[in-house]
A and B are shown apart, each in its own frame.
Chain A
Amino acid sequence: METISYLPVIAVFFPLLAVFIVPVVEKMRKGTGNIFTALTCVVVFFAVLFMYPQISAGVKIICPVWQTGLGADFSLRVDELGFLAGLIGIILWTLSSIYAIEYMRKEHAQTRYNIFSLLSLFGLMGTFFTGNLLSLYICFEVLSIASYVLVIHEESPEAMSAGLLYLFMGIAGGLILLFSIIATYVITGTGELSLIGIGLKGEPLLPFIFWGFILGFGVKAGIFPVHIWLPSAHPIAPSPASALLSGVMIKAGAYGIIRTIYSIGGLEALLPGRVIMVGGLLILALISIFLGSAVAIAQMEIKRMLAYSSISQIGYVVLGAALMSPLGLTGGVVHIFNHAIIKGGLFLCAGAFIHQTGLRMIEDLKGIGKRMPITALCFTLGALSMIGFPPFNGFVSKWYLALGALEVSKTGSYGPLVGMICLGMLLLSSFMNLIYYGPVVYGAWFGEEEEKTSVATPEVSTAEYHNPGEKVKKDDPNLVMLIPMILLALGTVILGIFPHLPLELVRAFSHTFFPR
């Protein structure tokens, strides 16, 4: 069932409108641009929230926006998956914008940051709320280009080179994506996400189209062979932007992969070439999980460690999608939601450490719990959730992924092998998470605070926020920065204990593909 509503239009186009207002507001009174950005996000948040009654009733919201005349129109369509991804996207964006009011106060080029943050928000919301491939591509490209400016905000040489890699991989990925989209349009004659699965059935070119989609979205998601931009680009951005990049922007890629498998490919269409397509993706997901965790162990810098952890976590999402089982899909989609909350919170905490003390190396953070207890507590909750302890929300998604793996192990001749490997990898990855998050948390609370000689070692330092000689503050940041962190930390607990909100929607989504 479908209904026409203008809520998605507000959610997508209000940030675009605000892009033109931010410079004016900032010009009228200095420092108000950041607040205006946060307010814009709040408006979008409510626009998204008001869609909930219809979405939870199983109604899809559609809205035609713009007739291009190219044989494909720009239209919006919100279903459970899009709603869920958009909801978490705007929640994190709002909190990060509030956090940025304080964090970015002393930064240069704030107006530029706000403009491109809102432009990225437009791209992100459009990606999640879109109804067809042309509009998906348009929004996805806007997201790629606009978020480049967030990555290079510091304008240091490291940031520039990381940003360049990000931009070119984004554009190359976008072009590969365009290839698949054009092929889909020409073969099926339509770009409506709900229809193309049928059109591609039995198409000999399907493996190429499928892998084009996977590579194009995979660049943004940061799965294994095309992840190389992620560990350099995510940590180099200012922390509110890192939280957005790692928390929600890579989810745009993961969202695209899930759409590829379940809407674009269509389950039945994928079945004949399952091993080449979904099997290959499963292997990439497993490699991402292992590699991200393994390399994260070796990291010295906290934001870099978090970035590698994101590669491993996005592997979970893709794994859930590639298991092709209802419970696995549930776990993968719920992990989009949960990982955004956890990783957003962790990056904001890391940003608070950097903002208040200028410390970005893990070994320097020993004893930080005594100086910044609330921040360290939030970090601890996030880390525990990331490792997968019950009753945090990270446990919920891992539980469903494990159930999905068990479900797979009951089917087919290779099923038991695949299921057991996935299960083993989930356990191994959780253990590795413990290895790299454990020392940070332990050190923060029980480590001896040493006299620091330097703020950061030169080879990995990115930008100095404080001069070494400056007196280090010994307290938590003010409330504007604390509240977003506390909300996210509470979110990990609350969604762990009451996981119904995302789970019900996700179940409804997975039932459309796996009818009982």
Chain B
Amino acid sequence: MEGTHLQVLLPVGLIVSAFFMPVIFRWRRKLSEPVAIAASLLSLIFSWLIFLRVISSSEGTIQYFLGYSWSGLRYLPTGEPIGIVMRTDLLGAFMLIQISGLCFLATLYSKRYVPHLIPEEKIGFYYTLLLLFTAGMSGLSITGDFFNFYIFLELSGISSYALVAISTNKESTEAAFKYAVIGTMGSIFLLFGILLLYASTGTLNMFYAATQIDKIFAPDAPLYLTHFRYHIYAALGLLIAGFSIKSAFFPVHAWLADAHPAAPSPVSALLSGIFVKISGLFYLIRFLFTIFGAHKGYYGFFLPPFFIVVTILTAIGGSVFAIAQTNLKRMLAFSTIAQMGYILAGIALISKDGLTGSILHIFNHALMKGLLFLCAGAIIYKTGIRNISDLRGIGYKMPVTMGCFTIGALAMMGIPPLCGFMSKWYLLTASAKAGYPILIVVLLTSSLLAAIYYLRVVGIAFFVPPARHNNINKTNGGQIQEVEHRIEEAPISMLIPLICLTLAVIFMGIFVRIPLKVVSRAAEILLK
């Protein structure tokens, strides 16, 4: 179906508004936040319009042709599109609404959170980076060619390096440097992979490349084409390596555990909630299924065992490391790594059910992990506490925040009827159907470990009384009880995103039919 101008307007508009942020900040200090919030709200509306257009189209895909020939010709006689094509399928549009929804909540949350963290004069640049980051991620989800893919990947990647470093303390600078080095290594793997793919298919359009790969692997392919098969194998290997780094699979996960906790909390929520998936797992799915056609049996039986080994390492390893953490945000970051293993489990099955479970879990994890990081941020904002053992009695002090955290943690552990359980159920049934009982054992073990580290936090927050000597108010020494139970909740602009996400965690669990309808159709389109 014909695309809309919004597909171009969305990233471009975000980029333009990003560059106006410092100017607006200089002009009127007070205006910068409302403008940023308005820009992200506008992008949210645009994303929904795009999503509605995609879902109402019969084939579930819309294409927008950019810079095609003046004669109105859109395709070459070979069938290759001319110029740049913004091609958005249902999966991309589904990712897009997650991105812009979470970015909107994070921008709203940043209004109060950021001024206490970074120097006053940098706030304009913070919003520049945040909007650029959003623009890069939105572009990634709706683009249809390799060149734009790489541009948007670097745009979002570089702005995320800068966002991690923005608090300019030693820890975050070190983490950002590590993140930048490893992230760039991942990008280089991806670039080489794309180059090889371009060399062997001769096109930058992802969907035309897919038809070329079909030709190369066709049983009756001419000899000169079959030679390209080895190029394709090499490209696939390079791309898998690159996406493994980007999505922090186990042996190459170390950057995530440093970078995500070091960033400001709204940025952590974006990084863990959506960026690691849009730049890693989403494109792994996109390349494997849409372009390389892994479900068509071109690559023998090599892929599932490899992915399953990585899944086991990631799901178990991430959880085990998370148990050992003392810092709350670092624990959440390791939990993200474990969840990447979950999502990979569904991809490893190379079946419709598995893919449905994976995409559903991508969505649910964005809700849950976004919620948890924003809760951790609210705690840091109000009390400055970063260590789990210092959280004693915080549940009485900040009941709304910790209530939301508890629901997020229960969803993360997979307690029904919250949303985490639904995608876990889908992944488990899919792996049982595909005949990999080992995955069931691994995923259930990982859930048990998740219970251990999340319940520790919840238990400390609600049931361990705060240390007496810290809390005796000198002017009011006789009334310790009063001091302990005084409610000091985060400001309302930070609580709104928390409550929105909590409600989403509950409703997307109970009414899982709604996302599932979208997700299963998206998986069908991918496997076509």
Contacts and interface: CB of A to CB of B under 8 A. Distances in A.
Given A69-B512, A69-B516, A141-B415, A167 B448 contact: no
A160 interface: yes
B34 interface: no
Interface string A53-94: 000000000000011111100000000000000000000000
Contact of B448 (A155, A171, A185, A186): A171
Contacts of A155: 463, 465
B510 interface: yes
A199 B410 CA distance: 33
Given A69-B516, A172-B448, A179-B441, 12 more contacts: A68-B513, A69-B513, A70-B426, A137-B416, A142-B415, A145-B415, A167-B455, A171-B413, A171-B451, A175-B447, A178-B444, A185-B432
A183 interface: yes
B416 A142 contact: yes
B433 interface: yes
Given A70-B425, A141-B415, A175 B448 contact: yes
Interface in A100-151: 134, 137-138, 141-142, 145
Contacts of A176: 444
A70 B415 CA distance: 16
A183 B459 contact: no
Chain B's interface: helix, strand, loop or mixed, by majority?
helix
B525 interface: no
B451 A168 contact: yes
B303 interface: no
B153 interface: no
Interface in B182-240: none
B327 interface: no
Chain A's interface: helix, strand, loop or mixed, by majority?
helix
A160 B417 contact: no
Nearest to A171: B451
A66 B512 CA distance: 10
19 contacts: A67-B513, A68-B422, A69-B516, A70-B426, A71-B429, A137-B416, A138-B417, A138-B421, A141-B415, A142-B416, A145-B410, A155-B463, A155-B465, A172-B448, A176-B444, A179-B444, A182-B429, A183-B440, A186-B429
A152 interface: yes
Interface of A: 66-71, 134, 137-138, 141-142, 145, 152, 155, 160, 164, 167-168, 171-172, 175-176, 178-179, 182-183, 185-186
Contacts of A182: 425, 428-429, 432, 440
Nearest to B444: A175
A238 to B, nearest CB: 15
Interface in B221-277: none
Given A142-B416, A171-B451, A183-B432, A152 B444 contact: no
B504 interface: no
A209 B513 CA distance: 28
Given A138-B416, A155-B463, A171-B413, A178 B516 contact: no
Contacts of B444: 175-176, 178-179
Contacts of A142: 415-416
Interface residues of B, number: 30
Contact of A70 (B410, B447, B452, B512): B512
Interface in B27-79: none
B468 interface: no
B452 A168 contact: yes
B435 to A, nearest CB: 10
A156 to B, nearest CB: 10
Given A68-B422, A160-B459, A186 B432 contact: yes
Nearest to B516: A69
B433 A186 contact: yes
B464 to A, nearest CB: 8
Given A69-B512, A182-B428, A164 B459 contact: yes
Nearest to A112: B462
A159 B330 CA distance: 29
B512 A68 contact: yes
B364 to A, nearest CB: 13
Interface string B439-459: 011001001100110010001
